[in-house]
Amino acid sequence: MKRFLSLRTLSLIVIAYMLIAFTWWSVLLYTKNRDAFVAKAEYMKIVMIAKEQVKDNVEFNETEAYQELAKKYKRQEWMIMGEALVFIISLIIGVWLINRGYNKEIESANQQRNFLLSITHELKSPLSSIRLILETFQKRMLQPAQIQQLSKSGLQETDRLNTLVNDLLLAAKIETTYHPASEPIPLTDTLHDLIARLRIKFPEAEFTVHCDPQDIFIQGDRLGITSTLINLLENAVKYSPKPAKISASIKIVQDNTVIEIADQGLGIPDSEKKKVFDKFYRVGSEDTRQTKGTGLGLFIVKEIVKAHQGSIMIMDNKPKGSKFKIVLPESSRFEEELMEI
């Protein structure tokens, strides 16, 4: 990071020097050109007066030779100004490009650092919990209720680890060989099932579901679409203060399938709305953040939606929170009648 900053300062100093030097040379050239013109004109005038071709300044200014000289001078003046302008514009574009490159480098270095910190935490913490549980089983004679309780936490930690590994594998696959399957998916039923599972997993959260019509089918990758819905719903819970209030809806708008997941949580600032879809990107810094995660979820969601020729956008929910809206094209609709054949 420090290296980037010092490199950046150094290049800015060099660029500033180039700019000042070039401006100075341009001004010098401009004045020298004017001096040369004045001297040439003066010489020409003296010669013409000596040869009695002209009597005074007014007559000299009207001579063809002087007009030609003045025209040439003006041309050179424009040339100097034009070249200075082109150089300054190119320099500004260059500085802007270099600056953008540096910012991208710094951002990606930050993302890598955040990812390493979060992945280490995400992998290590369930592993140490499971280890602790197993050590407790080994060392102590436990009551059946305690065994139940500890086994339940152990299983939850295993699930967490499993989700993380699946996300990592899915993210890697998406970048290389992911082609969505084309199978019929009962979308509304899938959403209802997921919400039923999440009501058990997050008993304090309040979910409302609205589907119109009741049975909507699409054609696509069942695993991918399910993973998309889980990611959005779990994020909605994760980034909301308790009790989280989540609403999910699926409707048909102009033959497109529109899925909306809205929460009343922290919300996402406008400046972050695009970035949260980047791989490993998490809002804020890993040192201060309270929530667990890897920054892979929304990357996976965006890629899966894209692979289904759909689009995803984030809007502000009212009165607060965020709303994720997925639009799947008409081509991905699957008619129910076909499903029953």
With contacts defined by CB under 6 A, name the span among 2-10, 158-166, 175-183, 232-240 that binds ligand ADP.
Answer: 232-240
Q: How far apart are CA 77 and CA 83, in angstroms?
A: 10
268 binds ligand ADP (CB under 6 A): yes
Q: Which is nearer to ligand ADP, 297 or 334 (CB)?
A: 297
Q: How far is the CB of 157 from ligand ADP (least distance, A)?
A: 17
Task: Determine the size of the site formed for ligand ADP (CB under 6 A).
Answer: 21
Q: Who contacts 137 (Cβ-Cβ below 8 Å, separation ≥6)? A: 147, 150
Q: In whole angstroms, how close is the CB of 246 to ligand ADP at the nearest point? A: 9
Is residue 293 near ligand ADP by the rule CB under 6 A? Answer: yes
- 3-state SS, residue 228: helix
For residues 284 and 146, give the distance between their C-alpha atoms in angstroms, rounded to a whole number: 38
Out of 322, 326, 328, 334, name the contact with ligand ADP by CB under 6 A: 322
Q: For residues 219 and 322, which CB has a smaller minimum distance to ligand ADP in the complex?
A: 322
Kindly indicate which of the ranges 66-74, 77-85, 109-117, 291-299 contains the residues binding ligand ADP, using the contact rule CB under 6 A.
291-299
SS3 109: helix
Q: What is the dihedral of CA 304, 306, 308, 313, to 10 degrees?
A: 90
Distance CA 77, CA 34 (A): 8
Examine residue 126 and tell whether it contacts ligand ADP (CB under 6 A).
no
Find the part of the chain contacting ligand ADP (CB under 6 A) among 28-36, 106-114, 235-243, 305-313. 235-243
105 token code pair: 């480098």
Q: Map tokens 């889980």 to a residue.
A: 230
As measured in angstroms, the least distance from the Cβ of 168 to ligand ADP is 11
Interface with ligand ADP includes 263 (CB under 6 A)?
Answer: yes
Cβ 130 to ligand ADP shortest distance, Å: 21
CA angle 86, 87, 92 (to 5 degrees): 100
Q: Which of 174, 216, 236, 305 binds ligand ADP (CB under 6 A)?
A: 236
Sequential DSSP letters for 30-49: HHHHHHHHHHHHHHHHHHHH
Distance CA 149, CA 302 (A): 37
Among 297, 303, 308, 317, binds ligand ADP (CB under 6 A): 297
- If binding is defined by CB under 6 A, does position 266 make contact with ligand ADP? yes
123 binds ligand ADP (CB under 6 A): no
- Two structure tokens written together for 99: 């600056």
Quote the CA–CA distance of 126 and 293 in Å, as a whole number: 13
Distances (CA, A) of 310 to 141, 175, 228, 231: 55, 17, 12, 17
CB of 322 to ligand ADP, least distance (A): 5
**Contacting positions for ligand ADP (CB under 6 A):** 231, 235-236, 239, 263, 265-268, 276, 281-283, 293-299, 322
